[in-house]
Amino acid sequence: MMNQNYKIAMLATVLATTLSACSDGDDGAPGEPGKPGITPPVLASSASELNVEVEQIEVGADSSLTFRVTNEEDLAVAGLDKFGFIVAGLEQGREGDANSWKLLSSESCPASKYSGCGELIDNKDGSYRYKFDKDLSSVEAFELTDSKTLRLVVRTGGESVGVSEVPYDNAIHDFRLDGAELEYSKNVVTEENCVSCHDDLAFHGGKYTEVETCVACHADNKVSGEAVFPVLAHQVHIGEISAPVGGCDNCHQDTGVAQDFGNWKAVPTAETCSVCHQDVNFETGANHVGGPREDNSTCALCHSESEIEMKHLSTYQGQTSRRENLHLTVVDAKMVDAPQAQENIDSGRDTDTTGYVQLTVDILDKDGQSLNLQLDKADFFYYSEFYINWGGQDMGMERGKILRVFTNKEETVDSDYVAKPVLLNYANGKSTYEIGPFDLQDRFDGDLNDSYGMVTPRIWFCMDAAGENIESCSETSSVWGQGAAGYNWLHFFDKQGMLEQRPRRQVVTNEKCGSCHGMTERDSDGMAQMTLNCRSCHPVTKTDFFGTTCASGSIDSDGDGQLDEQLMMKSITPRGERDWTTASNAAEECVACHNANNPPTQVIRDSHTKQGDADYIEQLTMSHPDHKVWIHAMHANNRANQGGEGWVRNVEYSADLANCVKCHEGDSFDAKYLVGRKPLALDLDYMDTYDGLDPADPKDVSGNKRFAIDAKADAFVSPTAAVCLSCHGKRAPQTGEDRRQVRAEVVAHMKQNGAQFGVTEGEYNGEESCSVCHNLDNLKQVHGLK
């Protein structure tokens, strides 16, 4: 090993020396004025953060470090005695191995059973000197040379400055022994990648807060097996990540700093690949076409960069290109007071308080030109459907209406939420359908004539095996393998037609949701779609609830007439598939169904909560499908079919639940936006009128059987209380209490301030006063937001 010491950064000797003590100045020669004295540095009396500037470092048999610490106001901080020091070196990979960090030393002061402390000197002026306890040139796994990259990590924090407790922080410094510019510093992922999902990284008691620290210490010359960082990082995300597992670019993104973000496809190794491909044994060759492999030297011969990218992202990239071939575009939409289509006139369903939506669509090719084809005669659609509702931000109908021109779903019960396609007219490639009736009167919002509606298309069309030409679905050998989904544009409209400006405030965006769930972007127009699919949570399971739009719910697997608990695991197997039926605006069109009018039923059917439970109403509230409650409760793991570790629907949210701005745009979480909103509907006697599954005929609709679409609201809950309860309704997991029980004291506090739970329509007064105390400033303060 080289026994070489080198100083990489050094202030002027005079400055470094003079700052260590004070002087009255030198006496001048006779007849000359004396030199001015040295003014002592102003020391910080408090600090909320600590910044480290490396002044000098020597690496070798005798290694030392000189550094300066300042606070957020750039004032020197003296008197610190808690530090951590890590030095690692980047070694060139051999025989196909990736370049990897090797740990040279990890030391801390004061010393612990895990690490020793060398010699720490506090110069009392904000500068410190540390002499390493270990000979850094003696590490067998790494040889010091002038050109290799070294990494220094200085850990600060975990102690008080004045009366302030300073949080831990890691300062990262990459350098070379000869002081020259770095040739290479391996950064596969960076803090920027990680915090897109996580608020921060804090491991080992919060002492280590940067991914650059993790890779320096979790090196294969210190730890082994699953603890080596590339294996560890993949292992803890498999089965947990909220984006498609096979989408390696979820984490490995080009941020401008992570220059090695493409290593996942450029440097394949058995160690990393086997984390996902657990059925492959590279040593024995089991399930490996290439047979056994002693090392990684030949991996890239078969698994080229382009081949790896294609295998992992081909569906996602194929969808992106294939879906450009066709667009089902909403040309116009408006609400009319009375139907004009003869079939709707003859139905006799029109009243003085109803209206009909007239929806005009055109089928465009990849160049934006009309195909001049009537929609219901286009045999290349596997499904083409439109989700529509009317009534402003809270919508007016439980599930709105769905217009299914083509559908891949089974016939549904006559629920009045699936509208029969009624063609009003066709001209110049534009098909106009009339859908209704929609209620223009609401029990709480009153007259909805001056409100607005929303519509979004959901389509899947068929293509040839090459993915180049649109073809009839009857001729397509694999509808799913060859087909493509269209973009789900979201449109707003009123009685005059389409609205150019969105009437709803922007609460979340695809970019924010996609930072965790994955996102695809189109360079042509900036369209961003998150890759989360409904099927990520709703397993594809045929149930007796064939009248619903969701494919979850329970089944009677043993034929005893009793429904089994809903325990279907969502599909998170490693795959390259990017989910394609995604939201155009962060799932905003979901409010067509997921709104306050739609009582919860699934958790009752699955017996996750039932009549007679002490907190039955509160459990229903927290499990409500209303979008603003559903999203919060699901991420907080507080729905009645969630609970904690080991539960199938358990959610391990990767950030701080109090960090509202992690998802919300601006101040859209302000409680003032909930004042006057519609209460959430409940159906408290749902199970009294539901007779369960008939084992002889799952589709037998005789008797009192009721479907999710047939729930009847008989009670209501205040909207602000419902939203706040969705996060604050249950104990934190670390308390050790039963996570399934609602916190009675929280409910009592809400009731004391006007909230109502499970009251009838006549009893509801809408007088909750939450926003009086919990205004925006208060919310920011209690949630720790700036």
How many residues are recorded in the chain?
Answer: 786
Report whether pLDDT(545) > 60.
no
pLDDT for res 690: 65
In a domain, 89, yes or no: yes
Report whether pLDDT(539) > 60.
no
- State mean pLDDT over 196-209: 88
Last-in-domain residue among 206, 238, 267: 267
Mean pLDDT score of the chain: 83
State the Cα–Cα distance between residues 48 and 205, nearest whole angstrom: 19
Report whether pLDDT(523) > 70.
no
Lowest mean pLDDT among 51-60, 262-271, 288-297, 480-489: 480-489
Is 635 found in the same domain as 729? yes
At 7, the pLDDT band (50, 70, 90 cuts) reads: very low
Nearest CA to 777 out of 705, 693, 669, 687 is that of 669
Is 179 found in the same domain as 324? no
Is 617 found in the same domain as 749? yes
Q: What is the pLDDT of residues 87-112, one digit of tens each?
A: 999 999 989 999 999 999 999 999 98
Is 308 found in the same domain as 358? yes
pLDDT for res 111: 94
Structure tokens at 672: 């003032």
Burial class (CB in 10 A: 0-12, 13-18, 19+), 68: buried
At 567, the pLDDT band (50, 70, 90 cuts) reads: very low
pLDDT for res 537: 53
In a domain, 291, yes or no: no
Is 231 found in the same domain as 100? yes
In a domain, 94, yes or no: yes
Residue 390's beta-bridge partner residues? 453
Tell me whether the omega of the peptide bond preceding residue 574 falls within 30 degrees of 0, making it cis: no
| DSSP code at position 34 | P
State the Cα–Cα distance between residues 173 and 177, nearest whole angstrom: 13
User: Cβ neighbours of residue 515 under 8 Å, at least 6 residues apart?
Assistant: 196, 197
Last-in-domain residue among 217, 244, 267: 267
Last-in-domain residue among 218, 249, 267: 267
| Burial profile 268-277: b = 16 or more Cβ within 10 angstroms, e = fewer | bbbbbbbbbe
Alpha helices for 583-731 (secondary structure H): 602-605, 616-622, 627-636, 719-728
Is 76 found in the same domain as 223? yes
In a domain, 584, yes or no: no
At 51, the pLDDT band (50, 70, 90 cuts) reads: very high
User: Cβ neighbours of residue 670 under 8 Å, at least 6 residues apart?
Assistant: 771, 775, 776, 779
Is 34 found in the same domain as 85? yes
**Prediction pTM value:** 0.83
Residue 87's beta-bridge partner residues? 105, 152
Alpha helices for 139-225 (secondary structure H): 191-194, 211-217
pLDDT for res 4: 40
User: Cβ neighbours of residue 454 under 8 Å, at least 6 residues apart?
Assistant: 388, 389, 395, 490, 491, 492, 493, 588, 589, 591, 592
Is 323 found in the same domain as 255? no
In a domain, 97, yes or no: yes
In a domain, 6, yes or no: no
Number of structural domains (the chain) is 3
| Boundaries of domain holding 686 | 556-572+593-786
Is 598 found in the same domain as 649? yes
Q: What is the pLDDT of residues 613-637, one digit of tens each?
A: 899 999 999 999 999 999 999 999 8
Q: Going along 626-760, which residue ranges are E strands?
A: 680-682, 715-717, 757-759
In a domain, 641, yes or no: yes
Which secondary structure element, helix H or strand E, spans residue 388, and what is its range?
A: strand 381-390
Structure tokens at 690: 């539901």
In a domain, 777, yes or no: yes
Crossing angle, helix 744-752 and helix 719-728, to 10 degrees?
Answer: 160
Is 263 found in the same domain as 327? no
401-406 and 418-419: which strand pairing?
parallel
At 21, the pLDDT band (50, 70, 90 cuts) reads: very low
Is 332 found in the same domain as 250? no
- State mean pLDDT over 150-168: 95
pLDDT for res 706: 58
Nearest CA to 330 out of 558, 555, 491, 155 is that of 491
- State mean pLDDT over 738-745: 80
Dihedral sign for Cα 482, 487, 493, 497, please.
negative
Residue 173: strand, helix, or coil: strand
At 113, the pLDDT band (50, 70, 90 cuts) reads: confident
Query: From the DSSP assignment, how many helices (H) and strands (E) are in the chain?
Result: 18, 27
Report whether pLDDT(17) > 50.
no
User: Cβ neighbours of residue 613 under 8 Å, at least 6 residues apart?
Assistant: 619
| DSSP code at position 463 | B
State the Cα–Cα distance between residues 282 and 594, nearest whole angstrom: 48
Is 308 found in the same domain as 379? yes
Percent residues over pLDDT 90 in the chain: 56
Only one residue has tokens 């084992």, namely 695
Report whether pLDDT(577) > 50.
no
